[in-house]
């Protein structure tokens, strides 16, 4: 029977016999599917790939915005509402009529912010999107598959924001972008919930949503021209954290063949189940769910979405270690060799923390930290007798303000995004005697548009005091056109083309090298990291990121 929730009804299930909700032009393009995918009339040449595709759950009708096909809002799991809130994802109910896949599904519950334009209270949100070249033949073509897991601090974002057409067309790939539950709906752990859920433990919903999407790919991507035996997961920030967690998850074994983690170290540690349950008790109390046992579970499942979003700690929560899907820390799984060993690309940006450093400072202190006259005082307060050594490596003349110096230091060391933390991850992944295939990179374009421009309101930092550089997320528009900023320059387009080739070569073969791109060496030591920069600023080639980030110096602290 059709999926019959009210929101789904509003999106229109298309009657296959009448095509009532599709335009005549779309139907005309899709109609050859009756003769078989990618076929034309008798004696004719191969037609465009069909816009109606049969999945294991039912037919979906997509669109052709350009030289690519786009299928949006395909449900990969049952709506996680009512008794299914917080629980592992359940199978989606098949549908009989053709599903309108021309519009995205809802984003998962989240609150908009300076870096996130999306706000949602809709829990029916487990949808994915598929982008393919338009000219493939789904009967014969088996293109590499890339599954994108979005970032957003585990509390914001959605898969439909990412235009995957460049990757699909230039890389000849099928790209799938997915939603997963966020904030308390994906990561809330609480002891009564854990008792009700069982071995998986509470706080595992977001991780398991991603695995449910990968199982959808396993069942269905061949119908879109993708190879279910050649799947690469990739993600940025919290999405890279997700990639790292999936590398360590025993329940993800066999669901992917390669992995790309952008801007989050795979050796970062997460809260244990006990630690996360303590936080969850505070959330439960905040929404009025006190007591114990089944009554608390029922109360949490009835709590209004806005109340749970408000109760979620400002620092948020992420993956929880201790359930069957993530029994040990990813760092421990990697160092012990018990991870899902596949080829990996892992990297970061040179100036990751120019985004986060000002956001972590009380507004009243920003003028103090932007004043160059306070440089010596600021370093002395933080580094005491060693302030002079720090100043020698981070001279004020090079950075403009104490705040920018602190951002440079944070970008180099001391966080999951930092270069030195990434070097630690490369070393852990590149284990001997079995050296896994690891390729490391650093994005270094100092002219890339920042995700958050601090020269504009509400910050309006004075010119010359805070240059964002290669800020966290700055590489994303090079892979996903138009995501933010003013678009790429001609020189940036050249770098974008090279990056897309590297990423899609890797998805196809497990090796980013190929025609038209500079050689990229497998990781052996920090001098093997591939710098990704504009031709006028040094171009693409090996850089010693550990030396640039003063990692040996910071190891002495």
Which of these, 484, 485, 516, lies nearest to 500 by C-alpha position?
516
pTM confidence score: 0.91
- For the cut 50, the answer to whether the pLDDT of residue 37 exceeds it is no
Rounded to an integer, the average pLDDT of 328-352 is 96
**Domain covering 344-554 assigned CATH 3.40.50.1820 in the classification:** yes
Same fold, 6-272+324-336 and 344-554: yes
For position 141, what pLDDT does the model report? 80
pLDDT of residue 314: 84
* pLDDT confidence bin for 138, thresholds 50/70/90: low
Residue 35 pLDDT: 29
pLDDT one-digit tens code per residue, 426-463: 999 987 656 679 999 999 999 999 999 999 999 999 99
Give me the sheet containing 52-54, strands edge to edge.
13-14, 98-100, 59-61, 52-54
Question: What residues have CB less than 8 Å from 282, skipping those under 6 apart?
Answer: 311, 313
Q: Tell which wins on pLDDT, 50 or 355.
A: 355
Which candidate, 192, 172, 365, 346, places its Cα nearest to that of 267? 346
Rounded mean pLDDT, 295-319: 94
207: number of Cβ within 10 Å? 27
> How much of the chain, in percent, has pLDDT values that exceed 70?
90
What pLDDT score was predicted for residue 505? Answer: 98
State yes or no: pLDDT of 379 exceeds 80: yes
**How much is the pLDDT for 39?**
31
Cα-trace Rg, the chain: 24
> For residue 330, is pLDDT > 50?
yes
* Residue 88 in this model has a pLDDT that exceeds 70: yes
So what's the pLDDT on residue 42? 32
List the single range of 16-30, 180-194, 393-407 with lowest mean pLDDT. Answer: 16-30
Domain residue ranges in the chain? 6-272+324-336, 344-554
Q: Provide the mean pLDDT of the chain.
A: 90
Candidate from 134-143, 149-158, 259-268, 363-372 with smallest mean pLDDT: 134-143
Q: Rounded distance, CA 287 to CA 298, Å?
A: 12
Check whether domain 6-272+324-336 has CATH 3.40.50.1820, yes or no: yes
Q: How confident is the model at residue 315 (pLDDT cuts 50, 70, 90)?
A: confident
Instruction: Note the pLDDT of residue 136.
Output: 80
Known catalytic residues?
A: 237, 352, 472
- Angle CA(418)–CA(486)–CA(362) in degrees, nearest 5? 45
Task: Express each pLDDT in 223-279 by its tens digit.
Answer: 999 999 999 999 999 999 999 999 999 999 999 999 999 999 999 999 999 999 999
284 to 151, 191, 193, 272, 303: CA distances (angstroms): 26, 11, 11, 18, 9
- The tokens for 59 are 């037919």
pLDDT in tens, 528-554: 999 999 999 999 999 999 999 999 999
Q: What is the DSSP letter of 415?
A: S
**For residue 359, what are the contacts with CB-CB under 8 A and spacing of at least 6?**
114
* pLDDT over 90 at 84, yes or no: yes
How confident is the model over 388-436, as pLDDT tens digits?
999 999 999 999 999 999 999 999 999 999 999 999 999 999 876 566 7
Cβ–Cβ < 8 Å for 345, 520: no
Mean pLDDT for 299-314 is 96
Q: Would you state the torsion angle of the CA atoms of residues 391, 396, 401, 405, taken in this order, to the nearest 10 degrees?
A: -40
| Per-residue pLDDT, 550 | 98
- Predicted confidence (pLDDT) at residue 22 exceeds the cutoff of 90: no
Nearest alpha-carbon partner for 15 in 47, 56, 58 = 58
**With contact defined as beta carbons under 8 Å apart, do 383 and 364 qualify?**
no
Residue 21 has pLDDT above 60, yes or no: no
Between CA 298 and CA 505 the distance in angstroms is 48
């Amino acid at each position: 029977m059709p999926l019959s929730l009210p929101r789904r009804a509003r999106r229109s299930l298309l009657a296959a016999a009448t095509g009532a909700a599709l335009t005549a032009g779309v139907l005309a393009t899709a109609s050859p599917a009756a003769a078989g995918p990618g076929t034309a009339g008798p004696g004719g040449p191969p037609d465009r790939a069909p816009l109606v595709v049969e999945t294991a759950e039912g037919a979906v009708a997509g669109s052709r915005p350009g030289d690519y096909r786009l299928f949006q809002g395909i449900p990969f799991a049952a709506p996680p509402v009512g008794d299914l809130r917080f629980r592992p994802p359940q199978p989606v109910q098949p549908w009989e009529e053709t599903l309108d896949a021309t519009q995205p599904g809802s984003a998962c519950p989240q609150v908009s912010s300076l870096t996130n334009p999306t706000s949602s209270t809709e829990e029916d949100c487990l949808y994915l999107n598929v982008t393919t070249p338009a000219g493939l033949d789904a009967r014969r073509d088996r293109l590499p598959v890339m599954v994108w897991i979005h970032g957003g601090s585990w509390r914001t974002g959605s898969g439909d924001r990412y235009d995957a057409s460049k990757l699909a067309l230039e890389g000849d790939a099928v790209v799938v972008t997915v939603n997963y539950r966020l904030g308390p709906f994906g990561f809330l752990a609480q002891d009564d919930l854990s008792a009700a859920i069982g071995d998986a433990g509470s706080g595992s919903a977001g991780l398991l949503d991603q695995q449910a999407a990968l199982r959808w790919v396993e069942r269905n991507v061949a119908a879109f021209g993708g190879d279910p035996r050649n799947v690469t997961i990739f993600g940025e920030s919290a999405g890279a954290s997700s990639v790292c967690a999936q590398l360590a998850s025993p329940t993800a074994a066999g669901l992917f063949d390669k992995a790309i983690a952008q801007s989050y170290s795979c050796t970062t540690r997460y809260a244990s189940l006990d630690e996360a349950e303590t936080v969850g008790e505070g959330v439960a109390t905040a929404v009025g769910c006190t007591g114990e046992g089944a009554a608390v579970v029922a109360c949490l499942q009835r709590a209004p979405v806005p109340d749970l979003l408000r109760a979620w700690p400002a620092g948020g929560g992420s993956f929880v270690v201790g359930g069957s899907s993530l029994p040990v820390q990813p760092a421990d799984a990697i160092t012990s060799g018990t991870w899902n060993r596949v080829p990996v690309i892992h990297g970061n940006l040179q100036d990751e923390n120019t985004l986060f450093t000002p956001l972590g400072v009380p507004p009243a202190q920003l003028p103090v930290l932007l004043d160059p006259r306070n440089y010596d005082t600021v370093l002395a307060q933080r580094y005491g007798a060693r302030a002079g050594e720090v100043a020698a490596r981070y001279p004020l003349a090079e950075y403009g303000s104490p705040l920018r110096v602190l951002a440079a230091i944070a970008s180099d060391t001391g966080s999951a995004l930092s270069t030195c933390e990434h070097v630690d991850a490369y070393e852990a992944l590149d284990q001997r005697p079995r050296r896994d295939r690891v390729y490391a990179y650093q994005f270094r374009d100092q002219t890339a548009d920042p995700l958050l421009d601090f020269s504009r309101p509400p910050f309006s930092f004075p010119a010359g005091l805070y240059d964002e550089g290669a800020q966290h997320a700055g590489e994303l528009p090079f892979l996903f056109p138009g995501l933010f900023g003013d678009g790429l320059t001609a020189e940036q387009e050249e770098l974008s083309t090279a990056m897309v080739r590297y990423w899609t070569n890797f998805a196809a073969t497990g090796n980013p090298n190929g025609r038209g791109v500079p050689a990229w060496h497998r990781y052996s030591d920090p001098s093997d990291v591939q710098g990704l920069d504009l031709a006028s600023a040094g171009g693409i080639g090996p850089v010693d990121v550990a030396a640039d980030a003063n990692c040996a110096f910071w190891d002495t602290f």
